[in-house]
Chain A
């Protein structure tokens, strides 16, 4: 076992938690991610294997909330699969074994930073952040969007006052700052 100590995207040992009024924002460094892109001509097989891993094949705009692996659509024949980091740090290697040569798997864990935004005014806060019709997003919705010039994915979870924002890791500070501003505006 190696002895290198990880830091979060916000640069700390422990995850950052913020609360403004009834809204909470929680950094989620405990999620491993890997992308799955079906190989040309192997889309059917890749979908079958994805279904076997996360229980369904999310279509455009969808997330499949499932344990321990979950996944959302990120592009045509392309998905992002997530799982608990503690047990699945090697998620990409595991998926490679599951998908074989039906899909291209790429480790994405540290390409992204995840924030959970929760609370009654969560829709109001998101309205200040991204051009999504968040009120019409139901649990299980996953949308690519742009927050403060950053390409992000916003998913609505269960219960529905819980959204997850997945954005570029290197800009975690910027994203965190933008979300906090929005929280203060509406809380």
Chain B
């Protein structure tokens, strides 16, 4: 499998470490009234889609960037790769 790193181009998947659902970027507010419930969902609940899935990959054997990779779990087709940092900053601005 190849992951098209936004800065370095296509790189072999073996250079990466997989973490999981990119929803881990959206960490809840620790001071919210429902923090316990929100953190529970954040830590444990995941969608398990047959189809496009946004997921976090770490370029351990490379530039140490975390990436958000949109991968179809049924075909391995990768349709989008972005720096997780850019995704995180955007979500902050939009929330």
Contacts and interface: CB of A to CB of B under 8 A. Distances in A.
A74 B61 CA distance: 11
Interface string B1-20: 00000011100101100000
Interface stretch (B25-33, B34-42, B62-70): B62-70
Given A76-B85, A145-B15, A146-B14, A151 B60 contact: yes
A27 to B, nearest CB: 23
Interface residues of B, number: 15
Contacts of A145: 15, 61-62
Contacts of B78: none
A136 to B, nearest CB: 11
Chief secondary structure at chain B's binding surface? loop
A144 B7 contact: no
8 contacts: A60-B8, A61-B7, A75-B64, A76-B83, A78-B63, A144-B15, A144-B63, A151-B62
Interface in B75-95: 83, 85
Interface residues of A, number: 13
A61 B11 CA distance: 12
A78 B63 CA distance: 9
Contact of A76 (B12, B60, B65): B65
Contacts of B59: 144
Interface string A37-75: 000000000000000000000001100000000000111
A144 B62 CA distance: 5
Given A144-B63, A145-B61, A151-B61, A76 B7 contact: yes
Interface centre among B8, B15, B63, B85 (most CB of A within 10 A): B63
B59 to A, nearest CB: 8
Among all A-B residue pairs, the 5 with the closest Cβ atoms: A146-B61, A60-B7, A75-B63, A144-B62, A131-B12
Given A61-B7, A144-B8, A144-B59, 19 more contacts: A61-B8, A61-B9, A73-B63, A74-B63, A75-B63, A75-B65, A76-B7, A76-B63, A76-B65, A76-B85, A78-B63, A131-B15, A144-B15, A144-B61, A144-B62, A145-B62, A146-B14, A146-B61, A151-B61
